[in-house]
Amino acid sequence: MRKFLSSAAIAVVMMAGLGAAQAADVKEVQMLHWWTSGGEAAALNVLKQDLSKEGFA
């Protein structure tokens, strides 16, 4: 049962990715996180800056 659930979860993620791949013209990243402490927030800002340099919104 556990193997089935993990296989189903992987299939769902892959199908969601295929839908996103069709809209490849939009360079946007959405991220859900709970990084709020000093070091975590600093790391998130570095990621934002790197993505911004590559043209992502």
pLDDT of residue 50: 93
pLDDT tens digits along 6-38: 666 676 666 666 665 555 567 888 888 888 899
User: Alpha helices of 1-57 — where are they, by DSSP H?
Assistant: 2-22, 38-53
Q: Which of 36, 30, 33, 2 is nearest to 16 (CA)?
A: 30
CB 44 within 8 A of CB 35: yes
Two structure tokens written together for 47: 């990621």
- Is this model's pTM higher than 0.85 or not? no
Q: Is the pLDDT of residue 49 over 60?
A: yes
State yes or no: pLDDT of 43 exceeds 80.
yes
Number of domains within the chain:
1
Q: Which domain holds residue 48?
A: 2-53
Where does the pLDDT of residue 4 fall: very low under 50, low under 70, confident under 90, or very high at 90 and above?
Answer: low
